[in-house]
């Protein structure tokens, strides 16, 4: 364990992966809801499937962006370890 002024490295090493994992967990829940409602909508109206797919893709990209922000912070601070 690094002591003294290198303490922050141990803290970063513990909490960075936890942070990314928490963000991945949250976005997995959100994406699961989005995809499941898209599936239900497609089952109700199969002829609108491509339209629903496009809207679902847009929503998923927006939700995924939040996890990507966390990953960027992880890369930024991971470089400081």
Partner 1 sequence: MHSAATHTTVELPTLFHLLHEHFSHSAMVSWLFRWQNLWFSLVAMAGLVVLAYLGTRKKSLIPVGLQNGLEWIVDGFTQFVCSILGPRGKDHAPFIGTLFLYICVMNLLGLVPLMKSPVTSAVPSPFGMPVPLTTAPLAICAVLYVNLAVLRAAGMTGYVYHMLGSPTHFILWLVSPLILATHLLGELSKVFSLSMRLFGNIFGEDMLIAVIVQQSAALLRALHWPPILPLQLPFLFLGLLTGFIQAFVFSLLTTIYLALMLPHEDYEAHAAHSR
Q: Give the binding site for partner 1 (CB under 8 A).
A: 57-58, 61-62, 64-65, 68-69, 71-73, 75-76, 79, 81
Residue 61 CB burial class (10 angstroms; 0-12, 13-18, ≥19): exposed
Q: Smallest distance from the beta carbon of 3 to partner 1, in angstroms? A: 21
Q: Smallest distance from the beta carbon of 18 to partner 1, in angstroms? A: 18
CA distance 70 to 8: 19
Q: Smallest distance from the beta carbon of 42 to partner 1, in angstroms? A: 18
Q: Is 7 or 51 the residue whose CB approaches partner 1 more closely?
A: 51
The answer to whether 52 and 38 are in contact (CB under 8 A) is yes
Residue 72 CB burial class (10 angstroms; 0-12, 13-18, ≥19): exposed
Q: Is 38 or 43 the residue whose CB approaches partner 1 more closely?
A: 38
């Amino acid at each position: 364990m690094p002591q003294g002024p290198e303490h922050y490295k141990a803290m970063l090493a513990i909490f960075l992966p936890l942070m990314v994992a928490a963000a991945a967990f949250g976005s997995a829940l959100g994406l699961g809801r989005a995809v499941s409602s898209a599936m239900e909508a497609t089952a109700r109206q199969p002829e609108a499937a491509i339209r629903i797919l496009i809207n679902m893709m847009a929503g998923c990209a927006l939700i995924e962006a939040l996890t990507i922000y966390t990953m960027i912070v992880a890369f930024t601070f991971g470089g400081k370890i």
